[in-house]
Amino acid sequence: MTKPYLSGKTRHAFADAFSQYYRVRDIDVAFCDAGIALDLDFTPSVSGERRTRVFQHYNTINFSRWDDVRKLLRAYEDILDHLERLDPNHFDSSFDSHDNLVLCLGRDGLVYDGSRISRADQTGVDDALTSFDLPELQRQIERMRSSVDDDPRLAIGTAKELIETTCKTILADRHVAFPASADLPQLLKLTRRNLQLLPDDISDSAKGATSIRRLLSSLGTVGQGLGEVRNLYGTGHGKDGRSSAVSPRIARLAVGSSATLATFLLETHRERE
């Protein structure tokens, strides 16, 4: 099961803040404005009408799906902004509540910059890629994020797997057959062909045709490069026992490149479905 993006402690801390500083109607507005539904049939094991209301909204969220959590963070931004605007002469505890909430977010790998909450990791995996509801893809993303610094070889190996998974997913969705033995360059070329992302797909009359073709050609180069880097440094092949350690810097390059390419392919696939 994919690890949730928000811990139970963070969820309860924000539920406490909502119940202390918002009325039921205000809670509904904050969550509904963030695009989060309400499950009135759900009876949570919490006390108080306001806390109950928060958890009835929580019950419509998949905390292991970034797209859902990203909506919830918009509601969390609402309460943080509210706490910042309270008169400290009347609500002395608001600053402690605010700081505690920010601390909870930090423990979950999130950063609040005074207006927005975003992921704190620097692995090169952006929010767009985590929004796709593909369990295997999410497992690979979490594996890369957790291993970039501690196990760069694993991160590099997984970066290549991420592109393979992305291509196979798109080809399967489009009912395109491919050989079981197809390697990364073959899968990527077939995927690009079906998404009309080959240089020959660009008409001479298209604005900036030459530049677009050059960019599209680089997609294949990225895939080939990832395969070669994985063969040299990543997991999947036995290494000489005297091989030197791999720098996390190289792992971040591989992870960032694979994440950018996978996002572009999946977004193009979804747009053209």
At 202 the pLDDT is: 79
Mean pLDDT of 118-135: 67
Both tokens assigned to 216: 């599209």
Q: Which residue has the higher pLDDT, 238 or 161?
A: 161
At 242 the pLDDT is: 46
**Of residues 248, 221, 218, the one with CA closest to residue 233:** 248
Cβ neighbours of residue 198 under 8 Å, at least 6 residues apart?
Answer: 189, 192, 216
Ramachandran area for residue 109 (φ above 0: left; ψ -120 to 50: alpha; else beta): left
pTM of the model: 0.56
**Rounded mean pLDDT of the chain?**
85
Give the least confident one: 28-37, 197-206, 230-239: 230-239
Give the least confident one: 6-20, 159-173, 224-238: 224-238
Mean pLDDT of 186-202: 89
Mean pLDDT of 41-48: 95
- Alpha helices, DSSP H only, in 108-247? 127-130, 135-147, 152-173, 184-194, 209-233
Domain ranges of the chain: 8-120, 128-272
Phi (first) and psi of residue 60, to 5 degrees: -95, 5
Apex 41 CA angle, 78 and 22, nearest 5: 25
- Residues 171 and 107: beta-carbon distance below 8 Å: no
pLDDT tens-digit series, residues 64-88: 887 789 899 999 999 999 998 886 6
- Residues 59 and 94: beta-carbon distance below 8 Å: no
- Residues 166 and 137: beta-carbon distance below 8 Å: yes
